[in-house]
């Protein structure tokens, strides 16, 4: 499952877009809005965007096979 962004918490900093190693967020035409995840099938559940979101706006549901290597993010 791709990340879910809570719009009400997002401050549109786009750290998540910039750090995603597989570019699942893709090109964002408007940098002042909550990002859109354009390529959700590319997400490999590394949790980097969840870790780095300063607003704690991103959550991730990890598929069962990926739970084997999942590292949880600290509570925000």
Touching ligand SF4, residues 7-26 (CB under 6 A): 10-16, 20, 22, 24
Smallest separation, CB 22 to ligand SF4 (Å): 5
Applying CB under 6 A, among 1, 4, 30, 44 the residue interacting with ligand SF4 is: 44
Contact 58, 16 (CB under 8 A): yes
Q: Which positions touch ligand SF4 (CB under 6 A)? A: 3, 5, 10-16, 20, 22, 24, 34-35, 43-49, 53-55, 57-58, 60
């Amino acid at each position: 499952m791709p990340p879910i962004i809570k719009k009400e918490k997002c401050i549109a900093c786009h750290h998540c877009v910039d750090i995603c190693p597989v570019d699942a967020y893709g090109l964002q035409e408007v940098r002042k809005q909550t990002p859109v995840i354009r390529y959700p099938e590319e997400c490999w559940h590394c949790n980097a965007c969840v870790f780095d979101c300063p607003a704690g706006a991103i959550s991730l549901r990890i598929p069962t096979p990926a739970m084997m290597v999942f590292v949880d993010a600290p509570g925000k």
